[in-house]
């Protein structure tokens, strides 16, 4: 076993004092399986318990912090105290396998679904619709300053609920085009006040959310508690986030006493699109900018053990596995035992029950050709 292979299995103690047993995360992946009221479905408990046996930490599917922030059917909520008992069962299931339980929290902003939010009232930094495949989505209503401050506070309240539910941490979802990213994006944010205009002002909302979460932790957590932040380094939109804007943002985030940063990538080895040297990978550029100030977690189509060992050579601190763990819940154990040939990398279309995949998640997987290997 070479040095990079060995490093995957090396424990790590975060700044908060929380230790994880290895450098592998289960990546957050929407499973569409919660009940219509945002409460946990029994299938989710089984799904997470099965996949918590080998990884160092499990980051859950994203939970909305306000009723108006729902982005998916079957999405779990953390917007009210009544949901704490169900969330507690998820945390317990994850921790039973030896993994740390991290609840991902967000607000979908202009990507919220009209039929899920009160009165169909979709809100965002500005009244600029999102675009998908060249077509504009619903036009959102611009948030007022009071509403912005209420959402910031809601992230703190959600963190308190995560603490009460027994989670080991939260991951602030500032990626994938949702509200936090929308405030940073020159496409979604056309404001000219303290929350928008200059690059620095477009960082304001993100930093305020981090402060709200960290304040909740300092006041309510009696034990070490992880706070991570997920981001997308670039946007395809014009105007949109470029590496030229992300890199100085990373500088600021690296000084926020976060336990980790989590870069959301579709492909681990993808190169910069614009705003930086397009001959270099995003990972390389980010690691250079971070300069060992905060651990970096990366996701991005890591499917085989060889993929993981190669990715660790980049210098990242952690790898997050998404589809790989859906396809093979024992991916980590098989890799650690050197049983590389036994790892399943193509979804068995007859194995829903064997793999403990929730019924609703299974239906979505089968309805999206190409999302999972084996689904055509």
Which residues participate in catalysis according to the annotation? 178
- Rounded distance between C-alpha atoms, residue 124 and residue 299, angstroms: 27
CB distance 124 to 182 below 8 Å = yes
Burial class (CB in 10 A: 0-12, 13-18, 19+), 113: middle
User: What are 102's two structure tokens?
Assistant: 């991290």
Contacts of 209 (CB under 8 A, 6+ apart): 152, 155, 172, 174, 180
- Rounded distance between C-alpha atoms, residue 132 and residue 213, angstroms: 31
β-strands 24-26, 131-132 pairing: unpaired
Can you give the pLDDT at residue 168?
Answer: 98
Long-range pairs, 12-15, Cβ under 8 A, ≥24: 12/56, 12/295, 12/317, 12/318, 14/224, 14/226, 14/259, 14/260, 14/295, 15/257, 15/258, 15/259, 15/294
- Rounded distance between C-alpha atoms, residue 317 and residue 341, angstroms: 25
- Rounded distance between C-alpha atoms, residue 235 and residue 242, angstroms: 7
Can you give the pLDDT at residue 5?
Answer: 77
- Rounded distance between C-alpha atoms, residue 217 and residue 170, angstroms: 10
Q: Which class is 3-344 in CATH? A: alpha beta
φ/ψ of residue 312, rounded to 5: -65, -25
Q: Is the dihedral of CA 8, 267, 230, 76 positive or negative?
A: negative
Which residues in the chain come in under a pLDDT of 70? 1, 4
What is the residue extent of each domain of the chain?
A: 3-344
Which residue has 């999206």 as its token pair? 368
Can you give the pLDDT at residue 134?
Answer: 77
Give the number of other Cβ atoms within 10 Å of residue 190's Cβ: 15
Can you give the pLDDT at residue 237?
Answer: 87
Give the number of other Cβ atoms within 10 Å of residue 224's Cβ: 17
Whether the predicted model's global pTM rises above the 0.95 cut: yes
Can you give the pLDDT at residue 131?
Answer: 86
Which residue has 């499990």 as its token pair? 58
* Widest Cα–Cα separation across the chain: 57
Strand-pair partners of 205: none
């Amino acid at each position: 076993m070479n040095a990079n292979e060995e490093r995957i299995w090396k424990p790590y103690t975060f700044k908060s004092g929380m230790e994880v047993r290895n450098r592998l995360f289960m990546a957050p992946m929407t499973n569409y399986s919660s009940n219509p009221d945002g409460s946990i479905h029994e299938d989710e408990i089984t799904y997470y318990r099965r996949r918590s046996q080998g990884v160092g930490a499990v980051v859950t599917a994203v939970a909305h912090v306000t009723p108006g922030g729902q982005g998916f059917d079957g999405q779990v909520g953390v917007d009210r105290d009544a949901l704490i008992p169900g969330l507690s069962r998820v945390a317990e299931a994850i921790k039973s396998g030896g993994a740390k339980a991290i609840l991902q929290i967000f607000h979908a902003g202009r990507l919220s679904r009209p039929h899920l939010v009160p009165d169909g009232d979709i809100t965002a930094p500005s009244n600029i619709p999102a675009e998908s495949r060249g077509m504009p989505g619903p036009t959102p209503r611009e948030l007022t300053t009071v509403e912005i401050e209420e959402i910031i506070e809601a992230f703190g309240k959600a963190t308190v609920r995560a603490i009460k539910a027994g989670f080991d941490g939260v991951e602030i979802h500032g990626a994938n085009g949702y509200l936090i990213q929308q405030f940073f994006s020159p496409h979604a944010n056309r404001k000219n006040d303290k929350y928008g205009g200059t690059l620095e002002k477009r960082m304001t909302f993100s930093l305020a959310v981090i402060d709200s979460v960290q304040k909740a932790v300092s006041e309510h957590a009696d034990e070490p508690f992880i706070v991570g932040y997920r981001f997308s380094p670039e946007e395809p939109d014009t105007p949109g986030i470029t590496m030229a804007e992300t890199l100085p943002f990373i500088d600021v985030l690296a000084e926020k006493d976060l336990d980790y940063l989590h870069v959301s990538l579709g492909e681990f080895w993808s190169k910069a699109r614009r705003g930086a040297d397009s001959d270099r990978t995003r990972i390389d550029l980010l690691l250079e900018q971070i300069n060992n100030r905060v651990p970096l977690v990366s996701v991005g189509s890591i499917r085989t053990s060889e993929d993981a060992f190669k990715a660790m050579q980049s210098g990242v601190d952690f790898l997050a596995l998404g589809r790989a763990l859906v396809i093979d819940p024992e991916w980590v154990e098989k890799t650690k035992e050197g049983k590389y040939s036994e790892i399943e990398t193509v979804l068995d279309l007859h194995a829903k029950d064997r793999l403990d995949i929730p019924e609703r998640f299974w239906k979505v997987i089968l309805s999206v050709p190409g999302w999972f290997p084996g689904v055509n």
